[in-house]
Amino acid sequence: MNLVFMKIKKTKKYKGKNIDVALYETRLNGTKISQEIVEQGNGVAILAINDDDEVITVNEFRYPVGYVLEIPAGNVDKNETPLKCAKRELLEETGYKAKKFEHLIKFFPKLGYNTQIIDCYVATGLVKISEPNLDENEFITVKKIKFKKLLNMIKNDKISASYTICAALTYELKKRL
């Protein structure tokens, strides 16, 4: 099937600190479609694995859910590459630097109504160089977990952050292929 898509009009409905909402009017195969789209900056997530096959995770307070165990992650700043952001976020949230970063996957966590893209990386050759340097609104505890245990936690519904699940399962799949 050959689809003909045309963007007609975009109207800002809300402007916030981290997100905007716009009404997009489009035409798909001659049918007019209106969609509310959350416009959000891109992010990164880092699966940091040490030489003992432990993943550096963070237990972070995420309103309205509460504390969530996840891998380090954050928003890509203006004029910042995803890789540079990954390096910055790993250091800020955990105090670790990595000798090697490898891109794992790029995905849309909220496809269909949100513009955000998340780039996941695996970081190895970890060196602890400082304590975390957190923003005033970040409440984080760093925790090491064996990679196999993390996979079991995902399997048993103990991990809920989409980027943690996506990065860990992609890494495991790439190891097997």
Tell me the whole-structure pTM to 2 decimals.
0.92
Residues 19 and 71 in one domain: no
Q: Are residues 26 and 107 in the same domain?
A: no
Are 22 and 64 part of one and the same domain? no
> ∠ CA(88), CA(169), CA(172), 5° rounding?
95
- For residues 24 and 99, membership in a common domain is answered with no
Please determine, for residue 1, whether its predicted confidence score (pLDDT) is greater than 70.
no
Per-residue pLDDT tens for 84-132? Answer: 999 999 999 999 999 999 999 999 999 989 999 999 999 999 999 999 9
- Asked whether the predicted pLDDT for residue 166 surpasses 80, the reply is yes
Which structural domain, as residue segments, surrounds residue 35?
5-39
Task: Domain count for the chain, please give it.
Answer: 2
CA distance 76 to 54: 26
Same domain, 27 and 92: no
Integer Cα distance of 81 and 14 in angstroms? 26
30 & 107 share domain: no
Q: Are residues 138 and 156 in the same domain?
A: yes
Claim to verify: residue 34 and residue 56 sit in the same structural domain = no
Question: What's the pLDDT at 146?
Answer: 98
Is the pLDDT at 20 greater than 80? The verdict is: yes
- Whether 28 and 46 map to the same domain: the answer is no
On whether both 30 and 47 belong to a single domain, the answer is no
Q: Find the CATH number of the domain harbouring 126.
A: 3.90.79.10
Going by pLDDT thresholds of 50, 70 and 90, the confidence category of residue 138 is confident
Q: Tell me the average pLDDT across 7-26.
A: 94
pLDDT value at residue 160: 93
CA 107 to chain centre: 9
The residue with greater pLDDT, 8 or 40, is: 40
Q: Read off the pLDDT band of 135 (50, 70, 90).
A: confident
> In degrees, to the nearest 5, what angle opens at C-alpha 43 toward C-alphas 40 and 48?
165
Provide the 3-class DSSP secondary structure of residue 131: coil
Do 102 and 156 fall within a single domain? yes
pLDDT-above-70 percentage for the chain: 99
User: Based on the domain organization, do 93 and 137 belong to the same domain?
Assistant: yes
Query: What's the average model confidence in pLDDT over 3-23?
Result: 92
Q: Is the alpha carbon torsion for 56, 165, 102, 75 positive or negative?
A: negative
